[in-house]
Structures are given as structure tokens and as C-alpha cells.
Amino acid sequence: MKEKIKKIIENLLENLDFLDFEIEIKELIDEPMTFNIKSDDGSLLIGEQGISLISLEHIAKIVFHKENPENETINPSIAKGVNFIIDVNGYRAEKARAIKQLAKELCQRVILTKKPVTLPPMNAYERRIIHMELAAHPSVITESQGEGRERRLIIKPYP
């Protein structure tokens, strides 16, 4: 399965005229497979605030589902038993570390002040990182509010 996904990513990159790259596959327990593209042209693949990277991943998932209909679901972002993430030069991994750190800091602020904190709009991936990071914390709860690009996360003291 991972070789099929890797080949899809390679084909997409080659069709976009990216020729100098390597793909490293990371598999961790309870985490989606990560395909980290290493390239000197990484900033072009990432785009402003990661939008090109998100688009590349979305297209790769659509292609994967078309080529593997047995894994087709209503939502092409989540395949039955097959979930993967595309990263470029560790961009997403570093961003996830920064978001987790922010979540911890804001959690402490909510605990000390007993007041909720509303974060700026975030994409689903970023909101999920914070939800997961704080899910087991007994003193706070998290919830998402809003629609589309205006969807944001709120960290609240536990009632």
C-alpha cells in the first residue's frame, strides 16, 4: 500500500516538473503514514501557510481512491484503513510541535485565569492537534466554533 501511495506522490510531483526530490516514509503506531518530501524547492510545494501542501495531499488522496476503489469512502481525506499525510522538509512536523506547545501554554493560561481562550481561525488539521493534545487534560475542554475558513478553537475551563 505504501509503495502505491509513494508512486502516486512521485507521479504528481513529476507532472508538476519537480524532479529533484526524495520521499521518506514514516510509520508510527496510532499515527497516519507520513510521506515526507525532501526537496530544495520545498517552499513552492508548501505554499503560503501550507495551502499548496494541503492541496497536494488532497489530490494524492483522490488519485489513491480512484485507483483503489475498495478503499473508497464518502470523504476522500479518510480511507478505510488507509490514512496518510504528506509533509515537505518536515514543515508539518515542526508546525505540529509548535501548535502543541501553544496548546500547553494556553491551557495553563485558561487554568490560571479561569477564562476561555479563543484562537484565530485554523484548518481542521491544526484544530485536531490541539483537541488531541488537550483531550486528556482534566482542567480544560476544547470545542470548535464557526464555519469554513472562520472555524476556530476555544479552550475553556472544565465546568
Instruction: Give the model confidence (pLDDT) of 17-67 as tens digits.
Output: 998 999 999 998 878 899 999 999 999 999 998 999 999 999 999 999 898
As a whole number of angstroms, the distance between CA 113 and CA 138 comes to 16
pLDDT at residue 82 is higher than 80: no
Say if residue 73's pLDDT is above 70.
no
As a whole number of angstroms, the distance between CA 104 and CA 96 comes to 12
DSSP string, 81-146: TB-EEEEETTHHHHHHHHHHHHHHHHHHHHHHH---EEPPP--HHHHHHHHHHHTT-TTEEEEEES
* Superfamily (CATH H level) for 2-89: K homology (KH) domain (3.30.300.20)
Q: Which of 70-79, 101-110, 126-135 has the lowest mean pLDDT?
A: 70-79
Q: How far apart are the first and last CA of the chain?
A: 45
**2-89 against 95-157: fold identical:** no
pTM of the predicted protein model: 0.78
**Topology of the domain covering 95-157:** Ribosomal Protein S8; Chain: A, domain 1 (3.30.1370)
**Percent of the chain beyond pLDDT 70?**
92
**Angle subtended at Cα 70 by Cα 66 and Cα 76, rounded to the nearest 5 degrees:** 50
Q: Are 99 and 81 in contact (CB under 8 A)?
A: no
Q: What are the boundaries of each domain within the chain?
A: 2-89, 95-157
